A and B are shown apart, each in its own frame.
Chain A
Amino acid sequence: MIPLAHYLILSGILFSIGLAGVLIRKNIIVVFMCLEMMLTASNVALVAFSRAQGTAGVPVYDAQVLSLFITGIAAAEVAIGLALIVAMFRARRTVESSALNSLKD
């Protein structure tokens, strides 16, 4: 049996990689993958906690239901995001975040 802490460490690592990627990477598609990774980190934590909070081997299903919702919302987010990226590529012929410079102080 793997202890809860290992799952939480994994989810923490996933979350940190995702957050760092969003802040550091310049390619918007990679930034997107990192955003999905942040959501996945929450899914891992939720499923692990659902098992840990359960009694007598029966997990608390609330958390697993939320993780399903998160998966669905992540899919919707990707659909919108890719549409916007395609629109951006058509307009500017690039998907680098440094090209997003028309709005500034």
Chain B
Amino acid sequence: MNIVSTYTWCQFTPAFALVGLAALLILADALLPRLPKRIYAFVGAMGTFVAAYFLATGEQTDIFGFIAAIATGLSILLAFDYTKISCESIAGSGNEEGTGEFYALPLVACAGILCLTQARDLVMLFVSLEVITLTSYVLAGYFRRNQGSIEAGIKYLVLGAMSTGVLVYGTAWYFGMVGSFNLGSDVVVSAMKGGVAGSPVLAFGFMMATALLFAGSFFKIGAAPMHVWIPDVYQGAPTPTTAFLAVASKTAGFVVLCSLALPFAPFVVPGSVVGKLLVWCFALVAAATLLIGNLGAMRQTNMKRLLGYSSIGQAGFILVFFLTLNGPVVFMVSKYLLAYALATIAAFFAVAMVRTQRGSEEIAAFRGLGKTNPRTAFLITVCFASLAGVPLTLGFLVKMYSFVAIITAMESWCCICWLLPIMVITAATGFYYYFKVIRAMYWEKAAPGAQPLQVPLCTGIVLTICVLALIYLGTMPLLLQA
């Protein structure tokens, strides 16, 4: 029997390197108990940055992998600044016992994302997706002395495993209808016509399989109605893990969605019934996601929960790109993800800093930062302004692309024009809840006796770089065209 592989080993070099590094760190954790754990965080973060460098300069630029690797590295650096809380919540006392894996596991998850970006069939897709989710379950429940963390871990595990079950069942039916696990336009087009025999049963089974697969991938990106886990898990999980879930894991979700949706591009032409159905489905999911994410965020007082709802809302804007499947979807989605990643990671750094020094993750803990730490407050302001979409930041630019996408899509499908007002309204509500944080910093008085925050080294550097990138790329939009 002839075994033909569609993959080469060197495609996975960065992933192998990261897994090797993670194994080394876990071994070191077991064998060298005296070594300060912060070294692991530093080494791990450097490893992901090196991987990101090779991904960006390699033969085929892997833009999703690049964003995910950078985001993982930054969330490990966030863990570096978060050691005080980590030690309290893991070992119970001030010592570092058992915190080593917390810095090594994100590397494994990152390797999963890098494999995912290379996947061209459902087996690879499923296995690498599971590498990411299984690691995330551990990371979400890692603070075992913290009630919220355990609860977040269990909720994520139950809902995540359910979505895995749905995805796998879809995969099984996909195989049954097509006869292979390949994801390609030719396979999809032939299956939608009922295969060689042209049987309607086969086409129907294939549609069911695709629906199950899409449902599984919607869970990862937090699209309605599979968003219910996001606020709880984001609030309960350790802040570095939340940052990882919000950016790297969401990138993985969009990689899955892209590889599932792009083979359907030949159907998205005027007059095609399948195309109309697909566009309607994406429009409905995008509208529900936008409304739930943005309206839900309005009444939040906890920062991590607010950022959770914000991530649902931003996913809604990204989903709009999928209405123009024949256009440059991957490019647009990665651009939006980049803007979202820069601002969100910086916001989580700010949350972690306030949590470490003021002991609270509520928006109220940000009060008076404009007085006590004017520079930091300005950096945080730019991040939230970019998330809201204020002009001259990258956030405005990508949100505008999202609006361009819906207007382009309306030219061929005028039946989805109701999505445009929904987008306008939800973008406007974004200004309300992101500016709640900015208002707390500048217009509300700090609690009596509030000390200025000491900005930790990594937090300062990352906040500055993210803000500079957001403003620079936002004022020079042509830089991102290349």
Contact = CB atoms under 8 A, between A and B. Distances in A.
A42 B150 contact: no
Interface in A76-105: 76-77, 80-81, 83-85, 87-88, 91-92, 97, 100, 102-105
Interface in A41-75: 41-42, 45-46, 48-50, 52-53, 60, 62-63, 65-66, 69-70, 73
B188 to A, nearest CB: 17
Contacts of B62: none
A52 B175 CA distance: 11
Interface string A24-44: 000010011001001101100
A61 to B, nearest CB: 8
B162 A38 contact: yes
A48 B172 CA distance: 10
A100 B164 CA distance: 22
B172 A73 contact: no
Given A15-B165, A28-B154, A84-B154, A62 B127 contact: no
A103 B150 CA distance: 11
A75 to B, nearest CB: 11
Given A60-B179, A62-B181, A77-B134, A84 B232 contact: no
A8 B179 CA distance: 16
Given A77-B134, A103-B235, A15 B169 contact: yes
B154 A102 contact: no
Which of A15, A41, A65, A102 has the largest number of chain B CB atoms within 10 A? A102
Contacts of B180: 60, 62
Contacts of A42: 165, 168-169, 171-172
A45 B148 contact: no
- What interface size band does chain A fall in? 35 or more
Contacts, number: 129
A30 B349 CA distance: 38
Given A45-B173, A88-B150, A22 B158 contact: yes
Interface in B167-195: 168-169, 171-173, 175-176, 179-181
A11 B449 CA distance: 64
A92 B299 CA distance: 29
Contact of A28 (B122, B127, B158, B236): B158
Interface stretch (B136-144, B284-292, B380-388, B434-442): B136-144
B176 A53 contact: yes
Interface in B114-146: 122-123, 126-127, 130, 134, 137-138, 141, 144
Contacts of B158: 22, 28, 31-32, 35, 97
For the residues of A in contact with B, the DSSP-based class is: helix
A14 to B, nearest CB: 10
A32 B130 CA distance: 17
Nearest to B305: A105
A62 B171 CA distance: 12
B232 A104 contact: yes
B175 A81 contact: no
Contacts of A70: 168
B211 interface: no
Nearest to B181: A62
A45 B176 contact: yes
A38 B122 CA distance: 18
B154 A105 contact: no
A93 to B, nearest CB: 12
Interface residues of B, number: 43
Given A62-B175, A87-B141, A103-B235, A39 B154 contact: no
A42 B123 CA distance: 13
A81 B155 CA distance: 10
A69 B123 contact: yes
Contact of B123 (A31, A49, A66): A66
Contact of B141 (A46, A62, A84): A84
B88 interface: no
Contacts of B161: 35, 38, 77, 81
A83 B134 CA distance: 13
Which of B127, B171, B176 has the largest number of chain A CB atoms within 10 A? B176
A77 B168 CA distance: 14
Contact of A102 (B144, B151, B305): B151
Given A32-B158, A35-B161, A81-B137, 18 more contacts: A8-B176, A28-B158, A35-B162, A38-B168, A39-B164, A46-B172, A49-B176, A60-B179, A66-B126, A69-B126, A70-B168, A73-B130, A73-B134, A77-B137, A81-B157, A88-B154, A103-B236, A105-B299
Closest 5 CB pairs of A and B: A38-B165, A49-B176, A45-B172, A42-B168, A103-B232
Interface of B: 122-123, 126-127, 130, 134, 137-138, 141, 144, 147-148, 150-155, 157-158, 161-162, 164-166, 168-169, 171-173, 175-176, 179-181, 231-232, 235-236, 296, 299-300, 305
15 contacts: A19-B165, A35-B161, A45-B169, A60-B179, A63-B172, A69-B127, A81-B154, A87-B141, A88-B150, A91-B147, A92-B147, A103-B232, A105-B296, A105-B299, A105-B305
